[in-house]
Structure 1
Amino acid sequence: MRTRGGYVDSEWGQVHFRTAGDTGPWIGLFHESPLSSQVYEQVLPLLAGQARVVAFDTPGYGASDAPPRAGFEIPDYARVLARAAAAIGMENAVFGGVHTGASIAIEMAHAFDRGVAGLVLSGVALFSDEERARYIAAWTPEVPFDAEGAQFAWAVERYRRIWPGLSPQMLQVGVVEVMRVAARYDWGYQAAFRHDPAAPLAAVAAPVLLLDAELDLLADKDPVALALARDARLVTLPGLRGQPHLRAPHDYARELLAFALDPGAAHDTDGGDA
């Protein structure tokens, strides 16, 4: 099914999104920093036959306009995106996200006032104080920039290091997306590192599906998230080193769609962990 693109106005300028599907439950997806809705390009058509899915570019990334300055927090991003989702007509939605996108999805449960049916979270950044300080200090070094192309070599090295075993297609996505926002690639990252999702996750009344890659960088946080959420279930996609939406889009879409079609029923099943 064809994926369409669009824009909606916000207080920070235009928010870009990709969408597919005309009937069924609403699904809103949020990407990891510093990428874009491009990461869901394979997932959207797999959902579109039975759902109306919208993948957003976080403000400042992809084709969305940037916040007016650095320093905004994850609830600020969620507030802007909640208004964008409402302007599109979304209601009673399932919101999902990966890493930074998972933090945004959690805050969407509190910012979106047109009904939240559930959350699908991949990699919840439930850091200790020490971990948080380390990520804030070290994860977003300044991008080198010169006429010899040091910035491109930096981006290639970075994604080969932080995405072990990536495919050529994944490398292309990572490098292109970080280069297009190189001057502000750290904005969303730093907001996510400053954000503590523990209390807002614990306060979510809707069902939660933790849908993660077995070897994800944040997979060790899944038991913590499972204990915090009021009504949660964990599904682990075995053998994946991260990025379930990119490495295993069919498996990711299958679990996401099953949950979106009946969030309550998904939590009544036995087992669920793969």
Structure 2
Amino acid sequence: MTAAGPGDRAPAAVHVEEAGTAGPLVLCLHGIGSSSAAFAPQLAELSAYARVVAWDAPGYAASPDPAGPLTLDDYADTAAGLIRARGGSAHVLGVSWGGVIALRLAVRHPDLVASLVVADSSPGSGTEAGKAAAMRARADELAASGPEAFAAARGPRLVSPGAPEDLVRRVVATMAGSVRLPGYAYAAESMASADLRAELPSVTAPLLVLCGAEDTVTGIEASQEIAGAVHKSAYVIVKDAGHLANQEQPGRFNAWVLAHLRITARIPESAPTTEQELTPCL
């Protein structure tokens, strides 16, 4: 479905995939080279316990192109609009760039964020001039090579060296079908401009930080920096996973997310049967 995100600054229409009819709301925000398709394992498993919503960010995959450039605040405000449209608050799961958006969302709209799961992310690429320049250069790379070649070059780096070939193919195909200009350029600029280090201590929502043990994109140190700066946080390394831990090790990843939701949303230990119903805990 496509829904309007009534954000505070620059609302944008976004396509979302949804699964589950009861329980707490879990909003999934994908990485800069992906889409809602990246959360297929979470939509399938977590929806037994929660209402799971995964967006295609503005200008990605099935979402229309935004009318103009978007800042990190604009992405956060659009995500806030999706939460408001569903009532209450959400447990926000952000991967990589999606994690940066999730953290900014928690600072700008603390009343809408019940808890956070930030996976394979960082405080932003604006923490170092070299990282910011490399992030901005990606838009030119996409323009020069096109989505298919761009994805073929970048996709395999996002998983561990031991990842199965079918996963690599899925990651590349998802990227090729998700990224385009100008949306990717707007996202890259939002990431290049982001340095959340000063505001991380103001995040009040309970935070679970997950990072693939073999993540060489953002890396373990960046995840540790996030966890160390937020007061109510836990940090977990996901074995045998690269940058896309939620896709490479979905069983382990989902188990940690469910453990987090049992604490923060009081979901049951096991999925309800057809005779049972989850009580929303927002």
- State the TM-score, normalized to the length of structure 2: 0.80
AA aligned opposite 2:225: V
- Is the alpha carbon distance of 1:261 and 1:93 closer, same or farther for their aligned partners in structure 2, counting shifts above 3 Å? farther
Superposed CA offset, 1:62-106 (max 9, x none)? 211222123x2111111012112211x142321111111001111
2:145 is the counterpart of 1:153: no
2:262 is the counterpart of 1:261: yes
Q: Which residue, 80, 83, 87 being the options, matches 2:81?
A: 83
**Paired position in structure 2 for 1:178:** 176
AA aligned opposite 1:153: A
Taking the aligned partners of 1:183 and 1:225, their CA distance within structure 2 comes to 30
CA contact (8 A) 1:12 1:66 kept: no
Superposed CA offset, 1:101-130 (max 9, x none)? 001111221344653221111123235323
Q: What's the CA shift for 1:254?
A: 1.3
Taking the aligned partners of 1:22 and 1:179, their CA distance within structure 2 comes to 28
Taking the aligned partners of 2:207 and 2:98, their CA distance within structure 1 comes to 14
Q: Which residue, 3, 8, 24 being the options, matches 1:8?
A: 3
Q: What's the CA shift for 1:151?
A: 5.4
- Is the alpha carbon distance of 1:7 and 1:205 closer, same or farther for their aligned partners in structure 2, counting shifts above 3 Å? same
Aligned residue for 1:8, secondary structure, equals strand
- Is the alpha carbon distance of 1:232 and 1:78 closer, same or farther for their aligned partners in structure 2, counting shifts above 3 Å? same
Taking the aligned partners of 2:143 and 2:114, their CA distance within structure 1 comes to 43
Give the 5 Å matches for 1:222-237: 222-237=223-238
- Is the alpha carbon distance of 1:175 and 1:99 closer, same or farther for their aligned partners in structure 2, counting shifts above 3 Å? same
AA aligned opposite 1:156: A
Moved more, 205-214 or 61-70: 61-70
- State the TM-score, normalized to the length of structure 1: 0.83
Taking the aligned partners of 1:64 and 1:90, their CA distance within structure 2 comes to 22
Give the 5 Å matches for 1:120-199: 120-126=117-123, 127=125, 128-143=127-142, 152-165=148-161, 166=163, 167-184=165-182, 185-199=184-198
**Paired position in structure 1 for 2:247:** 246
Moved more, 237-246 or 180-189: 180-189
Aligned residue for 1:81, secondary structure, equals helix
Q: What's the CA shift for 1:41?
A: 0.9
CA contact (8 A) 2:59 2:180 kept: no
**Paired position in structure 2 for 1:3:** none
**Paired position in structure 2 for 1:92:** 89
Q: Which residue, 70, 73, 80 being the options, matches 2:71?
A: 73
CA contact (8 A) 1:43 1:250 kept: no
Unaligned stretches of 5+ residues in structure 1: 1-5, 266-274
Taking the aligned partners of 1:201 and 1:123, their CA distance within structure 2 comes to 16
Taking the aligned partners of 2:157 and 2:207, their CA distance within structure 1 comes to 30
Moved more, 52-61 or 137-146: 137-146
- Number of aligned pairs? 255
Aligned residue for 1:206, secondary structure, equals coil
- Is the alpha carbon distance of 1:136 and 1:45 closer, same or farther for their aligned partners in structure 2, counting shifts above 3 Å? closer
Superposed CA offset, 1:246-271 (max 9, x none)? 10112111111221231399xxxxxx
**RMSD, aligned CA:** 2.5
- Is the alpha carbon distance of 1:202 and 1:122 closer, same or farther for their aligned partners in structure 2, counting shifts above 3 Å? same
Superposed CA offset, 1:23-60 (max 9, x none)? 22211110001311100012111101111111111111
Q: What's the CA shift for 1:176?
A: 4.5
AA aligned opposite 2:99: A
Taking the aligned partners of 1:40 and 1:129, their CA distance within structure 2 comes to 29
Moved more, 181-190 or 159-168: 159-168
